[in-house]
Chain A
């Protein structure tokens, strides 16, 4: 690992100033991803600005009935928070489906959003990778890609975003708040992650030097009946090969409100807008759910070894929406 300077920030403006004073500095939150990437040489910062003790560790209700979540709230505190469990249960389920008890205690909300892909070519500094070294190429299309993207990828990168938490946040229209030396800003999660295009190394729309200060969830009564289901290659403690966060409100057998987002299918948590459009006002039932899944997956461009994901995601969507419908009928 390369030597680096370490500074602990006491307040948000101080943290931003410390970062901006060094062009090759990084913010350190829980360190569960960054420290690991520093060990492997993927990340080589000159300075770490430790933001874990900033006063951004609260979860508060907003006036309109939503939640404002501080950026340094740990994944485990967020999962255990009564308002999250009551009003956005799929978010608790998504958080608990990620990593291990140890890592969830360390990992922060802001860091979770900014974690890097686990694509084996990205994490291996001996391999070419357009995300790590722009223009060096992407071996994944011809190589190991069984857990790579089926939606929104490009010829330059087919890596997936690994977050579970982000999938639930995408379903619930989360808005990311940040601060720069110039002031405050906000980005809806759907605009937070940039399209892959030919710049896979540019992952977010955050301005240079910005510190994520929190995430706001708008009020969403539909989210009270929500669910996250994750499929992985072992029973626990593994990244998803496919996941679904969904919320459903059914009245008189008709879908009144619905949210669907998908994980491990794209370079970002994937809000399934096409599926939602099919479902809105449709009869709640397997035929509608399958049609919705097919509408979303019509754009899928699977590779030889990840084509299974199309059917996996289709089945997951139908299954989760069916369970939510049955739950509503009880």
Chain B
């Protein structure tokens, strides 16, 4: 086949099919934002270091800035635009709202996509770097704050909203600790402000 610097690709995004011609250099992030008008996924570092561009490929979280669009053909892509069920927010989205899991909001779409997939990884029994005993016979680790922090470490927040992000993820996981529950007043105050 003669060398070519672009290809026609068909991308499945949030259940819909999009056909477009992409320069091979186009990342999935740029295709989403610049070609398909889906600007929810954010460009932070553009080098796979910050997680702001996190999307799901076949249900797994990936950084779309290092994923070539042409190589994403045939994969089921889910972006922040596709995690809600119609008007019904995804539980992770709802938890970020209720727990104020952001400040400026730029990293939030990536945080939410990452958390959605991370909860599925935990549900599947995957250990993490802070799991004491990784053997399959060991009980799966409860999703403690330490586990959440480690598993979400690929998503940076330059505002430093980590405390609330951990709380939101914990709430979405349904494993809220007593300490987090004790701060329910704070959460209600937040809702009142919103």
- Interface residues, chain A, with chain B CB atoms under 8 Å away: 1, 3-8, 22, 28, 31-32, 35-36, 38-39, 46-48, 50, 52-53, 76, 79-80, 82, 85-86, 89, 92-93, 96-97, 99-103, 105-106, 235-237
Contacts and interface: CB of A to CB of B under 8 A. Distances in A.
B154 A103 contact: yes
Interface of B: 1, 3-5, 7, 23-25, 27, 46-48, 51, 54, 57, 60-63, 66-68, 70-71, 74, 114, 117-118, 121, 124-129, 131, 134-137, 149-155
A101 B60 CA distance: 9
B48 A36 contact: yes
27 contacts: A1-B25, A4-B5, A32-B63, A39-B46, A47-B3, A48-B24, A76-B121, A76-B126, A80-B125, A80-B126, A85-B135, A86-B137, A92-B127, A93-B134, A96-B131, A96-B134, A100-B154, A101-B117, A101-B121, A102-B154, A103-B48, A103-B63, A103-B66, A103-B154, A105-B62, A235-B149, A236-B149
Contacts of A85: 127, 134-136
A32 B68 contact: no
A32 B149 CA distance: 22
Nearest to A25: B3
Contacts of B135: 85-86, 89
A32 B4 CA distance: 23
Contacts of B114: 101-102
A5 B24 contact: yes
Q: Which of B48, B129, B136, B153 has the most CB of A within 10 A?
A: B129
Q: Which of A5, A38, A99, A102 has the most CB of B within 10 A?
A: A102
A31 B71 contact: yes
Contact of B154 (A31, A235, A237): A237
A105 B125 CA distance: 15
A112 to B, nearest CB: 14
Contacts of A236: 129, 149-150, 153
A237 to B, nearest CB: 4
A96 B154 CA distance: 12
Given A3-B23, A6-B24, A85-B127, A102 B62 contact: yes
A22 B2 CA distance: 11
B50 to A, nearest CB: 10
A93 B129 contact: yes
A240 to B, nearest CB: 12
A5 B71 contact: no
Contacts of B66: 31-32, 35-36, 103, 106
A106 B127 contact: no
B24 A79 contact: no
Contacts of B54: 102
Nearest to A104: B154
Given A82-B136, A86-B137, A3 B127 contact: no
A86 B68 CA distance: 35
A165 to B, nearest CB: 13
Q: Which of B23, B114, B153 has the most CB of A within 10 A?
A: B153
A288 B67 CA distance: 48
Contacts of A89: 134-135
B70 A6 contact: yes
Contact of B3 (A46, A86, A99, A100): A46
B24 A99 contact: no
Contacts of A8: 71
B71 A52 contact: yes
Contacts of B47: 36, 39
B24 A3 contact: yes
A3 B22 CA distance: 12
B136 A86 contact: yes
A31 B61 contact: no
B172 to A, nearest CB: 16
